[in-house]
Structure 1
């Protein structure tokens, strides 16, 4: 185990190239302290259920405290404090892009809940007499095919909301169902240039054309199907309690359909603002929030202030999820700044691991560190790889995050929605099914690109 962790640590350092002439602080007390605090903090994040400490608390601590500690070190040693200032601003900019993207996505989810959209969807599924197992497959396939259009996080948030409205207590359905949605959303996002932040980053960096990513579809869906089939064995065949006489068909509020349309328009704005205008994706999302507020104003004029209020929806979002991302991205930025993530790009060289083995290991690393900073690091290092290996790292960074519950934005989002049900420990109980699917995805990639020569 120690060898494996050491190898993953070495690979993590391989992915990052230093943009600034920062002094290497890895052997100083501040460098060692930063690494130690990160490891201890991640221990408490992983054991949230055991210690009853919300995951955002240790994440925020390690992210904020390590940067403050680095600034103090620079001040005590008469180093250029502007380097710390510039790095902090860069990290804040990265955090803001993700923070506001999630903020708007969550606001739309809560708005759809308030408008009765998910109650209506729940009724439509249950009233058909589907068993828990059929509902498991239905939500999984919806996640897989919505994710390439909407993005994996938004998709996971939507479908996990459907899960919890179907049954709030049946863990033997909710836990496999939540894992199924996370795996499906990540796998579905891996073969679309805008289905996941990592694929979007690789596409905009020019590592492949739009069509090149579509060739990852067989790897994505077959790997997902293996995991889903194994998970489905643990889902009961019974049906949710449903009495058509007692449960009247819910009616969506006036204006609900328009909110759905605005949600689609918002996603389109996010993609177009990034691809066409070269703006951050959150800019398009914030424009979508403006549209939602205008719609809310119109509804309040027509039906009264209590009919629909965007700010009421904002008040219900999972703020701990947003704080978790803030802390983790800041913590990774601190590790990068002191030099822990600048040492070992040599693993990509043929005389060491080489591109293929390194990229396979990236999937495991992305499950621990989060796939977004990992992919950002690889793109900065820009190792010498052909198209097939750029597609491989896109695949592994995307679906590898499913191996651990907090390894992807989708997983973190679902943990927030199913708090106390979908946890790190409940996820790890079924992690072996995800690992088998991961291996199948890589095998399919190898057959396509190495055997058939799709390069």
Structure 2
């Protein structure tokens, strides 16, 4: 490894460290990711001809520009997908589309509520995404469970169920979106083969946690009240809900029909939903219209979490630099040699690592480390890619800082790292391993 390559790797590792300890430094990880992007590619430009086989001079500059633009184009497909999906979910939420979820959850049995939370979170996260679903479920839990000791048990299950639900869906988690965008997994393949392992990884922890809950819940008049989050009629809210959630489900179908990238489908859904809501709000009376302006798509676009988008831009482009200089290929070959090509073990370790560090750069790195093969474990929908989707998603549940869902629930419910590690981590780990074993049985005896 050359000195320049080593310098790029060191810069990346330092940035990665600061991203991992964001809660300690209080520096937004998006800022660090952007610095990583600039620093790695700037170092790369010291001697680009060491990595790109081409002539010197203007031709070299053109080749470098083409390489960066190619990676940027690939990254942008993920970013546009995320921005579209975030806006759609926000629009449905702001217009009271998720009120029905709370009605379905209402029960006086603590254990009954736990199972309803488990399955509702699981399937919602497959349609929306694990982060958004976690926020929605915690908001609902606050209306249903007043005892904080009980609520943090439910909240911990929300983390596990959201991550498990996101793992089997091509639109349920950022990592599965990345793998789907890259074409290494298909919607039908990942749903059909990862659904049962993902359910197992959720059901086992849910059963263990149900043993800790006894008794019944009581509801105050305030808790029983349903909040109307929109100036629209009930029928209009239902139309927005079904267009939004149904549209997200339609995206994989649209891709299979047209063979266009997934972000085109998400923009189609956003365009349709935007048009419909504009028609609805255009007919509101003047006093209502002023308050309703905040619920229009044009206003919601200004409230998109740009720090998240910029974080993905920075980290994916920094990983692209490592791919360009050949480091990821060397690392992939090293892992294969060390573990003798055992992809169950390799992806299992990646899943454990994803509970410690962000799974986005881990998966991005794996995409760069391993080329897609025409047949075998590394083929499209092969064992390696499907296990990577499962392990990177479900593995994040083992520590509360291991996933975006865990971090947001940690902040909303004030769950400490130590409490989660002592009471929940081993339960999540058992579910994680059980899911891998279930997948092995599927691949050995069924598929």
Give the TM-score normalised by structure 1.
Answer: 0.76
Answer yes or no: is 1:183 the counterpart of 2:177. Answer: no
CA RMSD of aligned residues (A): 4.1
Confirm or deny: 8 A CA contact 1:161 1:417 kept in the other structure. Answer: no
Q: Partners of 1:331 and 1:236 in 2: how far apart?
A: 49
Flag the 1:389–1:122 CA change in 2: closer, same or farther, 3 A.
Answer: closer
Show the counterpart of 1:115. 95
What SS class does the counterpart of residue 197 from structure 2 fall into? Answer: helix
8 A Cα contact 2:372 2:380, kept in partner: no
Aligned to 2:105: 125
SS at match of 2:243: helix
- Please state if 1:98 is matched with 2:78: yes
- CA 1:309/1:65 → structure 2, altered by over 3 Å: closer, same or farther? same
Q: Name which of 2, 26, 32 aligns with 1:58.
A: 32
Q: CA deviation at 1:239?
A: 4.0
Deviations 1:320-369 (A, max 9, x none): 22222122211211221222101143654699344443343343455544
2:77–2:263 Cα contact (<8 Å) kept = yes
What CA deviation, in whole Å up to 9, does each residue of 1:130-178 have, x standing for no partner? Answer: 54x6444322211323445x26x2x541343231343299765665545
1:267 is aligned to: 248
- In structure 2, the residue matched to 1:400 is 392
How many angstroms apart in 1 are the aligned matches of 2:33 and 2:204? 33
Aligned counterpart, 1:436: 430
Separation in 1, partners of 2:148, 2:204: 22
CA distance in 1, matches of 2:203, 2:335: 32
Q: Which moved more, 1:139-148 or 1:54-63?
A: 139-148
Q: 1:60 to 1:212 in 2, by over 3 A?
A: closer
- Structure 1 distance, partners of 2:24, 2:371, is 37
| 1:157 aligned residue | 132
Distance 2:48 2:305 in 1: 36
Partner of 1:11: none
Aligned to 1:244: 221
**Unaligned ranges ≥5, structure 1:** 1-25
Provide Cα deviations, 1:216-272, integer angstroms capped at 9, x if missing partner: 4432222222233345567796747x3226853333532211111111342144223
CA distance in 2, matches of 1:198, 1:207: 8
Q: Distance in 2 between matches of 1:90 and 1:422?
A: 42
* Paired residues of 2:194 and 2:439 also in contact (CA < 8 A): yes
Q: CA deviation at 1:277?
A: 1.4
Q: Check conservation: 1:405, 1:415, Cα contact below 8 A.
A: no
CA gap 1:167/1:192 in 2 versus in 1, 3 angstroms? closer
After TM superposition, the score normalised by the length of structure 2 is: 0.77
- Using the TM superposition, give the Cα deviation of residue 189 of structure 1 relative to its aligned residue in structure 2, in angstroms: 4.5
Q: Which residue of 2 aligns with 1:373?
A: 364
Query: Comparing both chains, which one has the higher relative contact order based on Cα–Cα distances under 8 Å and sequence gaps of 6 or more?
Result: 1
Aligned residue in 2 for 1:324: 311
Contact persistence 1:111–1:313 (CA under 8 A) = yes
1:404/1:436 Cα in 2 relative to 1: closer, same or farther (>3 Å)? same
- Contact 1:406 1:424 (C-alpha < 8 Å) held by counterparts: no
Is 1:42 the equivalent of 2:25?
Answer: no
1:415–1:320: structure 2 CA closer, same or farther, 3 Å change rule? Answer: farther
Report whether the alignment pairs 1:282 with 2:263: yes
Distance 2:369 2:109 in 1: 44
**Does the CA-based 8 Å contact 2:184-2:385 persist in structure 1?**
no
Q: How many residues of Structure 1 are paired with residues of Structure 2 in the alignment?
A: 421
The CA distance in 1 between the partners of 2:304 and 2:46, in whole Å, is: 35
Query: How far, CA to CA, are the matches of 1:263 and 1:46 in structure 2?
Result: 34
Q: Deviations over 1:282-331 (max 9, x none)?
A: 11111111112212221222114332411222333332222221222112
User: Following TM superposition, by how much is the alpha carbon of 1:425 offset from its aligned partner in structure 2, in angstroms?
Assistant: 4.0
Contact 1:321–1:413 at 8 Å: present in 2 too? no
In structure 2, the CA distance between the partners of 1:269 and 1:123, relative to structure 1 (3 Å rule), is closer
Q: Does 247-256 or 31-40 show the bigger shift? A: 247-256
Cα pair distance change 1:431/1:339, threshold 3 Å = farther
Give, in whole Å, the separation in 1 of the partners of 2:374 and 2:211: 41
Residue 103 of structure 1 and its aligned partner are, at CA, apart by 1.2
Q: 2:190, 2:381 within 8 Å by CA — same for their partners in 1?
A: no
Superposed, which structure 2 residues align to 1:277-426 within 5 Å? 277-304=258-285, 305-306=289-290, 307=292, 308-343=295-330, 344-345=332-333, 347-348=335-336, 352-364=340-352, 368=357, 369-370=359-360, 372-374=363-365, 376-377=367-368, 380-382=371-373, 385=376, 390-391=382-383, 393-404=385-396, 411-412=403-404, 415=407, 419=411, 425=417
1:238–1:83 Cα change, 3 Å:
farther
CA apart distance, 1:402: 3.3
